[in-house]
Structure 1
């Protein structure tokens, strides 16, 4: 009876976490729309809506069995197309804690997140069809293969690489692809002037962006808390505390840093500070103390302010700061596992874990850069990546969707 009750409680917590991660997609949508111009709002919403559908379907057809192939592991393993009914219908993914179906759906929600990260970075100038083809291939094939090396019992897991909830396997996987996509696409028209001036292109709805960030923070309780893969009260409560403290610390650090740097209270930096802290703690939320989490969040909050400016100086046009948040802070958080927490240098006195973390980052980074380039370059040379200049100036909503998100939009006011 006790075993059955524990199984039910564990499975229930995992299903609640699934719902919370699903809400994160609404958060991504609201944030991206708010930080973009009104003439592209429908296009951004459409992309984010389709990503969830594509992510779940591709994960059901092949992704789940690529990421968790079972049996003897190799660099590329595949246990067949589609979801197969377990022998007893209740086969648990991990230690009898939840059902096969709960396992699939939780992991499937993670899969779609990688493409959502790319969506924000390429906003306002990528062809919708081209982006959806990329998402189909990257989420359906590349993400689960890379994830299998760690979460599927692969060679990184056997080395001891630790990425609790995806600073590397989710956030940097999306971040590396975002870098490639932004380079191949080029910047938005008018972003970088011929005299070297960087022109800010302001988002049209800061309240909507704020709502998106709050929803992401809220959903992260499921993203990290569900990654415990049970309802173990000790571990889950620790993870929720470290997650919250890192986010809060990131906000304060970004606020202080941006004020001293720009002498203004920049709310977009506060937004990015919270997300930087969340991404930074995600790799080690289960092995960090509350003070470790505050340190990681604070460092990530400082780093993101300088990262946004650095990326701009490289002339990489990233409308929502996705590269800085998800890639740079994802790498930072993964390395932090080797420095702080139960596995870090300051605790064990050994640099071995830090070396393992760095190796894992390198392997995943090289793989994602090469594969995303192949996919995106092939798309660029065939059907094209970027919309026409006329479509970009007048807005993707009217040209790709035949409608505007708001009444009375004057495209000339949105250049």
Structure 2
């Protein structure tokens, strides 16, 4: 991901602004995907969480995170802020903020229906303000000389064009820690080993969320070039091929299950982010297809064998498919497989592993401290009532609640 302003600064500002708006729209996709997957008594909470997390992310990324990642702050007067490039860095902040805010949106789906509201916002502040930008700066700004070291040791730096690891794997592995510390929803698993189904409340909303994410993803990937002259049609085609590969594979392996089909498309898109600018379109189709299979297999494994109540399957979808996307660059990006070259399998493995370790350690510290000193789970009565009424004092269908009362 490049950040140098081009010779046509006004055009680049407008271009990147359109990308920021597309990725901002993806947060509506996160909201409706969660809304459609959780039970009816948690739908309002899903909507409010995503919006509130975005607000907190904006504040901490503006004052802390963007400076940690790129060494840039916005404390000067207006003349100094707009002196060069029509305020390119300001719109670049907006664009990269939408990436950063995707991390708590991902986590939200894993911990749905039983997390306390304010402690989760506090976790968002620390993760987006401190943990995420630490790794973001390493990968996309060359901080601490780690990318230079990768180049020296492996012959190429770690390549993550649009965030398979920087955004998605980070969010997914952070969510894994939070899900484990929270424990399952009440009644999800019986003491006798039984598993009690908690089916999605609204498949149309789930599908709507997936479609909004799919559309916004082309801004996420294509506009990660950040300059008009750097845009590649290859990125758009690879994104398309990967989403279709993920969707068709998940559709087949999931035997027509709509949840697998719609999330399979997202799995393919997660996996192609890192290498969308260097892999051949057939390679993108394979990457997406493998990601779809990963999601179907691991979602079932996590829910039924590991008994981790990851409500939306965000660890398989974002965490593991993001890891696969990072590693896949070192395979399908090679010239021998039709890729653009300039990548290294060793660097891709090392860079991906570093991201996973930072995500796990950072999430363990943040959520571990919050659980110990504040508490992160709703009390049994509030959880039984549902977070909509317990936290927000209104349900998604208030007329029906009144009639039942």
TM-score in terms of structure 2 length = 0.91
Q: Which runs of 4+ in 1 moved over 6 A?
A: 348-352
State the Cα distance separating 1:120 from its structure 2 match: 0.5
Q: Which 5+ residue runs of structure 2 have no aligned equivalent?
A: 151-156
Asked if the contact 1:344–1:353 (Cα under 8 Å) also holds between the matched residues in 2, the reply is no
Match of 1:91 in 2: 84
Q: 1:206-221, aligned counterparts within 5 Å?
A: 206-221=203-218
Match of 1:262 in 2: none
State the Cα distance separating 1:8 from its structure 2 match: 3.0
Asked if the contact 1:60–1:83 (Cα under 8 Å) also holds between the matched residues in 2, the reply is no
Q: Distance in 1 between matches of 2:307 and 2:342?
A: 35
**Which of 354, 362, 372 is the aligned partner of 1:381?**
372
**Which of 23, 33, 36 is the aligned partner of 1:21?**
23
Asked if the contact 1:339–1:345 (Cα under 8 Å) also holds between the matched residues in 2, the reply is no
State the Cα distance separating 1:90 from its structure 2 match: 4.7
State the Cα distance separating 1:407 from its structure 2 match: 2.8
Match of 2:299 in 1: 308
Residues 348 and 101 of structure 1, relative CA distance in 2, 3 Å threshold: closer
Q: Distance in 2 between matches of 1:332 and 1:157?
A: 20
Residues 351 and 231 of structure 1, relative CA distance in 2, 3 Å threshold: closer
Match of 1:157 in 2: 147
State the Cα distance separating 1:7 from its structure 2 match: 3.2
Match of 1:178 in 2: 175
Cα shift readout 1:271-317 (whole Å, capped 9, x = no counterpart)? 11001000000011111121111111111111111010121111111
Residues 58 and 345 of structure 1, relative CA distance in 2, 3 Å threshold: farther
Match of 1:188 in 2: 185
Asked if the contact 2:42–2:387 (Cα under 8 Å) also holds between the matched residues in 1, the reply is yes
State the Cα distance separating 1:392 from its structure 2 match: 1.1
Q: Distance in 2 between matches of 1:238 and 1:269?
A: 27
Residues 88 and 377 of structure 1, relative CA distance in 2, 3 Å threshold: closer
1:64 aligns with 2:66: yes
Higher helix share: 2
TM-score in terms of structure 1 length = 0.88
Residues 381 and 4 of structure 1, relative CA distance in 2, 3 Å threshold: closer
State the Cα distance separating 1:244 from its structure 2 match: 1.3
Q: Which 5+ residue runs of structure 1 have no aligned equivalent?
A: 70-78, 260-264
* Alpha-carbon RMSD: 2.4
Match of 2:274 in 1: 283
Residues 89 and 406 of structure 1, relative CA distance in 2, 3 Å threshold: same
Asked if the contact 1:86–1:100 (Cα under 8 Å) also holds between the matched residues in 2, the reply is no
Residues 6 and 128 of structure 1, relative CA distance in 2, 3 Å threshold: same
Which secondary structure state, in structure 2, belongs to the residue aligned with residue 99 of structure 1? helix
Asked if the contact 1:304–1:324 (Cα under 8 Å) also holds between the matched residues in 2, the reply is yes
